[in-house]
Amino acid sequence: MLSIVLAETALETVPSKIAEHPAIQKDAKRLGRSPDQLLLDASRHSPAMIGIPDEKKRGRPDIAQFCLLLALDHPLNKDGKIRFFIHTRNDQLVLVDPEVRLPRVYHRFCGVFQDLFSKKKVEAGGKTLLELRDGTNLSQTISLAKETAGKEAKVFVFDPAGEKTSFKQLSEKLSSAPGAVVVVGGFPHGSFSDAKALDGLEKISISPHELCAWTVVSEVLSAYAAGQE
């Protein structure tokens, strides 16, 4: 089993400190939602985000969308071989049912996650497809992902400063362990904030270039699938 953790993801509702900003108010009126229900989105809310902590690492729900669609549509998921966990920068955890069907259209995807942040669950047919848990830090998320992948699962953190690893080596690493957990940063720029949570874990790099999260997830899925052949 492969568990994918999208860590410190730039996925959150609008902070109360900027909820009164005209850019937020305008967007809330357009969508017919209260400001605190909106997902923070740098493409629409950048004027309001100027000067907030970690400004360049926030407001990117599209990262979660692209990574989720890649994973959920992959044959590995359809064969029951992967699980996906989203840890947010505010220490919230999104549990994802492998059978959930998420919208491809961005604004509809945001609508689903705005409902999730408000109601804590998205259900259909008596089944919970998405669940939001508050107060779950990165260490706790990794532990849960490891339990899911197997007690002996190995954890790999994708970090530009990690050990240089070829596609073949990555495939061997992921397939040689009884289970594997991969941790990928879910933010657009910078490095992990909670470095302590990653202490002692194997850090690897698959490119001399800084890659988008969805590119890393795509490589992970391909490498793991190759190791299953």
Taking only the tens place, the pLDDT of each residue in 134-192 is 999 999 999 999 999 998 999 999 999 999 999 999 999 999 888 999 999 999 999 99
Taking only the tens place, the pLDDT of each residue in 72-93 is 999 999 999 999 999 999 999 9
Q: Where are the domains of the chain?
A: 2-10+59-104+126-228
Rounded Cα gap, residues 229 and 134, in angstroms? 38
Distances (CA, A) of 157 to 19, 112, 141: 35, 29, 13
Q: What torsion, rounded to 10 degrees, do the Cα atoms 51, 89, 92, 121 define? A: 70
Question: Domain 2-10+59-104+126-228 classified CATH 3.90.230.10?
Answer: no
**Eight-state DSSP code of residue 13:** B
Ramachandran quadrant class, 215 (left: phi over 0; alpha: psi -120 to 50; beta: rest): alpha
Q: Phi first, then psi: give them for residue 182, nearest 5 degrees.
A: -115, 135
> Do 40 and 17 meet the contact criterion of CB atoms below 8 Å apart?
no
Taking only the tens place, the pLDDT of each residue in 88-144 is 999 999 999 999 999 999 999 999 999 999 999 999 989 999 999 999 999 999 999
Averaged confidence pLDDT in the chain: 96
Judge if pTM exceeds 0.75.
yes
Going by their DSSP bridges, the two strands 154-164 and 202-205 should be labelled as: parallel
> Do 163 and 204 meet the contact criterion of CB atoms below 8 Å apart?
yes
